[in-house]
Amino acid sequence: MSINKLALIRYKILDDCLRQTHRKWTLDDLIEKVSDGLYELEGIHSGVSKRTIQGDIQLMRSTKLGYNAPIKVLKRKFYTYEDPNYSISNSPLSDSDMSKMKEAVDILKHLNGFSYFDEMSDMIARLENNLSKGDDAVSYIQMESNKLLKGLNWITTLHKAIREKTPLLITYQSFKSKSAQDAVYFPYLLKEYRNRWFLICKPKKGKTLITLALDRMEDVAEMGKSGFVEYNGVDFERYYADTIGVTKSEKDRGQRVVLRVDKHNAPYVLTKPIHDSQQLLKTADDGSILVRLDVVLNFELEREILGFGECIEVLAPKRLKEQIKRRAYCTLQKYSESASYD
């Protein structure tokens, strides 16, 4: 049963009243108290009806909410708890609540990298232990993760620097560099793509945004806050709206990309669009489809297309079509030239 916010407030007020054994509560007293509480907490002037409070009492008494409240009526007039130590706040969780909490714990266990969750690890472990209903308890959620991924230890430091607008001295070695280099960066955004984390920032000695992979960082140190340069471009939701992945410069703009998808993969692409901009242009007689994307031409787009193999054909733009064709040819050459491995 779904419970709305106002109902929960009413139950809490009724519970507070019924726990006060030194006072006798009539139905009119309870209506007045709940009405006053709703006005004070939510600004509701209309009060609450007798029928509503009677319904609330019946629900609190029942097993529907898991309360089983021992509410009794004395002299057919005064409401109280039969057990003076009872409170709905002490009620055990229902099976439904337990199931939902187990799912929440499963999700929390997969949120790694932020020290906030490291600090919660003991609490999560205790929750998991208390919520388990036996040795055969199983998890019904399995999220994608990569425990071997490097750089997750920098997430909290970078997140704090972004929030507090602190320049960072980062020792970074790209895949193309032979050695690591030290440079000062102004951090603006943490972005995750396929279990890999990236920092969107601006070098102190540069004018444009760049993307640094956390797994290529060797050291991160905070600098004086006074030298921070704010980001004054478009908000990052719009900045990456036309982008698959993270590879984009401030000058890049989305382009019209037309793809032909064979009939076997058409349902997959229709139900799980390659990008938010995806539009269905045509459905052919053979079951194949033409779709349009408006995206930046980058490596992540190429990898997405190549992942479908022969099932997707690039029709436009010509530049992307030739790039995919070149990559496919190079792949074919490698398989043609390579020796067997046993």
214 and 272 co-located in one domain: no
Residue 285 maps to which CATH number? 3.30.70
pLDDT digits (tens, 9 = 90+) for 16-50: 999 988 888 999 999 999 999 998 888 888 889 99
Instruction: Please report which confidence band the pLDDT of residue 1 belongs to, taking 50, 70 and 90 as the band edges.
Output: very low
Average of pLDDT values for 268-287?
96
- The total number of structural domains in the chain stands at 3
Residue 299 clears pLDDT 70, i.e. is over it: yes
pLDDT digits (tens, 9 = 90+) for 183-221: 999 999 999 898 889 999 999 999 899 999 999 999 999
Q: Which residues form the domain of 15?
A: 5-90
214 and 156 co-located in one domain: yes
Average of pLDDT values for 78-98?
78
What is the pLDDT at residue 2? 45
Give percent of the chain with pLDDT exceeding 90.
59
Domain assignment present for residue 50? The answer is yes
In Å, what is the CA distance from 57 to each residue of 17, 94, 208?
12, 18, 63
The Cα 171–Cα 188 span in angstroms is: 17
3-state helix, strand, coil in the chain (%, to 5): 40, 20, 40
Domain assignment present for residue 122? The answer is no
Residue 291 clears pLDDT 90, i.e. is over it: yes
Instruction: Please report which confidence band the pLDDT of residue 135 belongs to, taking 50, 70 and 90 as the band edges.
Output: very low
What is the pLDDT at residue 188? 96
What is the pLDDT at residue 99? 64
Angle at 296 between CA 291 and CA 297, to 5 degrees: 85
Tokens of 13: 């007020």
Count of beta carbons in the 10 Å neighbourhood of residue 278: 17
Domain assignment present for residue 227? The answer is yes
- Transcribe 198-262 into DSSP letters: EEEEEETT-SS-EEEEGGGEEEEEE--GGG-----SS-HHHHTTT-SSS---TT---EEEEEEE-
Helices (H), 206-254: 236-239
The Cα 268–Cα 266 span in angstroms is: 5
Query: Which pTM value belongs to this model?
Result: 0.62
Residue 227 clears pLDDT 80, i.e. is over it: yes
What is the pLDDT at residue 127? 57
Domain assignment present for residue 97? The answer is no
| Domain end position, chosen among 90, 105, 123 | 90
Count of beta carbons in the 10 Å neighbourhood of residue 129: 9
Average of pLDDT values for 312-328?
96
Residue 56 maps to which CATH number? 1.10.10.10
Lowest average pLDDT, out of 56-70, 98-112, 291-305, goes to 98-112
Query: Cα-flanking dihedrals φ and ψ of residue 24, to 5°?
Result: -95, 125
Residue 256 DSSP symbol: E
More reliable by pLDDT, 115 or 170? 170
Tokens of 242: 């036309």
212 and 265 co-located in one domain: no
The Cα 81–Cα 280 span in angstroms is: 62
330 and 280 co-located in one domain: yes
Domain assignment present for residue 120? The answer is no
The Cα 193–Cα 132 span in angstroms is: 33
H or E element, residue 259:
strand 255-261
214 and 260 co-located in one domain: no
Domain assignment present for residue 119? The answer is no
